[in-house]
Amino acid sequence: MTEQGFKRKLSAILSADVEGYSRLMGDDEDATVHTLTRYRSAIADLVQQFRGRVVDAPGDNILADFASVVDALKCSVEIQRELAERNAGLPVSRKMGFRIGVNLGDVIEEDGRIYGDGVNIAARVESLSEAGGICISGKVYDHVENKLDYEYEYMGEQRVKNISKPVRLYRVRTKSTDDVIDLGKKLELPDKPSIAVLPFDNMSGDASQEFFSDGLTEQIITGISKIKDLFVIARNSSFTYRGKAVKVQQVARELGVMYVLEGSVQRSGNRVRINAQLVDAQTEHHIWAESYDRILEDIFAVQDDITIKLIEALQVKLIPGALYHHYGGRTENINAYFKFLQGMEYFYRMTAGDNFHAHRCFAEVIALDPNYSLSYSMLAYAHLNDIFQGWSKSPIESFEQAEKSAAKALSIDSSLDLPYIVLSQIYLFSRQHDKAMEHGERSVELNPNNALSYAMLALVLYFSGKHSDAISLMDKAFRLNPVAPFFYYHFLGHPHLMMENYAEAIKAYKKALHLNPNFIFPHLCLAACYIATGNDDAARKAVAEVLKLDPTYSSDTFSLASPHKDPANTEKLINLLRQAGLK
């Protein structure tokens, strides 16, 4: 203690604030406060993960200190990565960019707060950063120069307010990216023709007709995805461009494909006008284009023609007579088709209420056409979705209904891949691992471009103890579906957790929660990771989040939902969760 009764210490100080905060507040106070609250919580979690502590958080500013300057800088980089991912889903006008400054200096500590020139310099260093960027003082640079895999841009000696001597400054850039803000990873082109089918624009002037244009797009994706000599981006990723004015070069770069199909649909009464064009994204050359003006009942013939013309333009062979199987046993009943498309629209909204409406639509489709095998497949998938999302009041009954519908689909058309996916999960959770693997592998054989097949088979392999193989399959799933749904990241975290690659597991689970904060399982798995790495406080916080979502959740519940082939793996995770406070 000093003579004044204060405690002095050497600390690495992280200072962060929001660039353009006043503008954001002026535009929309409620939205800004909501975003700031979520971002500050994310920053606090990362500070704790890197063994630091938040000492103050006035307004839009955050101040944290660390015993290690290496931890402080690594935390700063992860903060900017995390916030960049969150900003990616916001309009440009609502993106919230933090500037970060890091300094190493002597500070005075009183009642948990810190003061002194070390803090002041950190704040000044931060003010010279840019949104999404990191600046460090020369003292920090001297300690981390050869310890971290980053690049440092010298900014010279800067005079800063209320500090007598100039401060040597550096801008931080990671070697794995062009800069801290850009998280994009260039995707290599596959060794076969690769294509993304963009959502066809609805030109009808009626938003209620979106289901029709979306359905046409999905049917085309379905039709070409089963062709082994093609590489086809998943619907989930293609549809992120829905309603956006984007250039084909951007789409090709972000999804890693050579060709892009785009088009429009205009429905008026009993007639439909469809325009489609295939573009070589490297040259912007239009390889093929066609316009169709038909009656609605001809929609199936139009789908066939577009698919055939695509295949011909891409110089891919298609066995004569095989087109039926590529579409998966579709209906010729136009009313059943429209009702099916409405069911798909509900299904993709991914809420409990919409999934209920999807059930109803698929049941109505079956009543209109009892031989429409794809409707049984989707009904089975909707039941499975109820279980995985926690919407089912009776998981056992939902499993039974899913199995019944999947079996019916296959009895009509054994070329469908989706029923095999559903059945693989049913066999997995009934602890029939070999049958689960057999059905999962069959789904991949039937549709080598279905990212969902790879993801679901990866889950089977994880619970079967084949962890490295599970990671390899998830890599394939992500490549086919670069803008992946939340559960892909959850599935990726599992094998990393079991292989004790905790940093990779934590990263994956956090991404899953970013996309779906109310998904209970990543919270549980994070708790296990944190306990295993000695971060007890974070583990207890994760368990607290679990109990907020489900106050009755217990280790016994987790055991029932963990069909490991080797019971020792289940026991290992339960022991970690009990240490984290789950009863």
State residue 489's pLDDT score: 93
Q: Pick from 313, 341, 309, 338: which is nearest to 323 by CA?
A: 309
The top-scoring range by mean pLDDT among 1-15, 85-99, 274-288, 385-399 is 274-288
Q: What is the mean pLDDT of residues 289-309?
A: 82
Q: What is the mean pLDDT of residues 434-450?
A: 93
State residue 91's pLDDT score: 67
State residue 164's pLDDT score: 67
Q: Is the model more confident about 23 or about 169?
A: 169
State residue 209's pLDDT score: 75
User: 335, 368 in Cβ contact below 8 A?
Assistant: yes
Spans of all domains in the chain: 7-174, 203-327, 485-583
Query: Which tokens go with 159?
Result: 């005079």
State residue 162's pLDDT score: 63
Q: What is the mean pLDDT of residues 139-161?
A: 81
Q: Is the model more confident about 389 or about 9?
A: 9
User: 140, 169 in Cβ contact below 8 A?
Assistant: no
Give CA–CA dist 571/581, Å, rounded. Answer: 15
Q: Which one of 3.40.50.1000, 3.60.21.10, 3.30.470.10, 3.40.50.11830 gives the CATH number of domain 203-327?
A: 3.40.50.11830
State residue 161's pLDDT score: 67
pLDDT of residue 177 exceeding 70:
no
Instruction: Fill in the DSSP letter of residue 286.
Output: E
User: 483, 515 in Cβ contact below 8 A?
Assistant: no
Q: What is the mean pLDDT of residues 143-160?
A: 79
Instruction: Fill in the DSSP letter of residue 97.
Output: P
State residue 92's pLDDT score: 65
**Start-to-end C-alpha separation, the chain:** 43
Query: Which tokens go with 304?
Result: 């066939």
Q: What is the mean pLDDT of residues 143-167?
A: 78
Give CA–CA dist 184/199, Å, rounded. Answer: 23
Q: Which one of 3.20.20.60, 3.40.50.740, 3.30.70.1230, 3.30.365.10 gives the CATH number of domain 7-174?
A: 3.30.70.1230
pLDDT of residue 327 exceeding 60:
no
pLDDT of residue 11 exceeding 50:
yes
Q: What is the mean pLDDT of residues 318-342?
A: 66
Q: Pick from 66, 483, 556: which is nearest to 254 by CA?
A: 483
pTM reported for the whole predicted model:
0.67
Q: Is the model more confident about 211 or about 421?
A: 421
Percent of the chain with pLDDT over 70: 92
Alpha helix (H) residue ranges in 331-417:
334-347, 352-368, 373-389, 395-412
CA distances from 424 to 304, 381, 407, 458, 521 (A): 30, 12, 12, 11, 20
The top-scoring range by mean pLDDT among 377-381, 519-523, 550-554, 568-572 is 568-572
Per-residue burial over 501-531, b if 16 or more Cβ lie within 10 Å, else e, is bbebbbbbbbbbbbbbeebbbbbbbbbbbbb
Question: What is the CATH topology of the domain spanning 485-583?
Answer: 1.25.40
Residue 276, phi then psi, degrees to nearest 5? -140, 145
CA distances from 24 to 58, 79, 83, 91 (A): 17, 20, 16, 12
pLDDT of residue 299 exceeding 90:
no
User: Residue 259: which region, alpha, beta or left (left: phi > 0; alpha: psi -120 to 50)?
Assistant: beta
SS3 422: helix
State residue 118's pLDDT score: 87
Q: What is the mean pLDDT of residues 540-547?
A: 91
Question: Which H or E element spans position 315?
Answer: none
Q: Is the model more confident about 437 or about 19?
A: 437
The top-scoring range by mean pLDDT among 21-35, 305-319, 474-488 is 474-488
What rounded mean pLDDT belongs to the chain? 85
State residue 318's pLDDT score: 55
pLDDT of residue 553 exceeding 70:
yes
Q: What is the mean pLDDT of residues 373-400?
A: 84
